[in-house]
Amino acid sequence: MGLLDNVLGAVMGAQGQSAQQGEGLGGILAMVANNPQIMRAIADMLSNEGAQGGLAGLVEKFKQAGLGDVIGSWIGNGANQAISGEQLTHVLGGDTMNGMAQKIGMNAGDLAQQMSQLLPGMVNKLTPGGQAPTGGLGNSADLMGMLGGLLGK
């Protein structure tokens, strides 16, 4: 589980959100260790072949929901704005969140909350230049490899 540990440590450090929410890295690690499919679900969502249309599609969904500035902060070089599980469910849609939760065997509300803690840091790590790549982030295998490469530095 070395890559997962590296991903979580770097993601949580990059977003600095855990201290705001009073939840340490240990709590996040435990949360994902109990259901590591969360990282895969996020990678699948951000991948070009994902149902959301990759990062570009996700950006568009955030804009349509009036939260373009939130995802823009994750991509940009400044501090990452927080998002709640409820806001993330609003962006993705209840049916989508329910489908993702059912696929990995958890409650949709819990999944949304956990994803809201991990997603900002992952997007931030995958866009280190402060801009989304024009060709997207690639397929899910490319994406996990890219995360591993970024976090190995």
What is the residue-level pLDDT of the chain in tens, covering all 153 positions?
A: 444 444 555 554 544 443 343 344 455 555 555 657 888 788 888 888 888 888 999 999 999 999 999 999 999 888 999 999 999 999 999 999 999 999 988 899 999 999 998 889 888 888 888 888 888 888 877 776 665 555 444
Which tokens sit at 92? 């993705």
**SS percent in the chain: helix, strand, coil, step 5:** 70, 0, 30
Identify the residue whose tokens are 């060709």. 135
All domains of the chain in start order, with CATH: 2-151 (1.10.10.690)
Please spell the DSSP secondary structure of 93-118, one letter per residue: -HHHHHHHHHHHTS-HHHHHHHHHHH
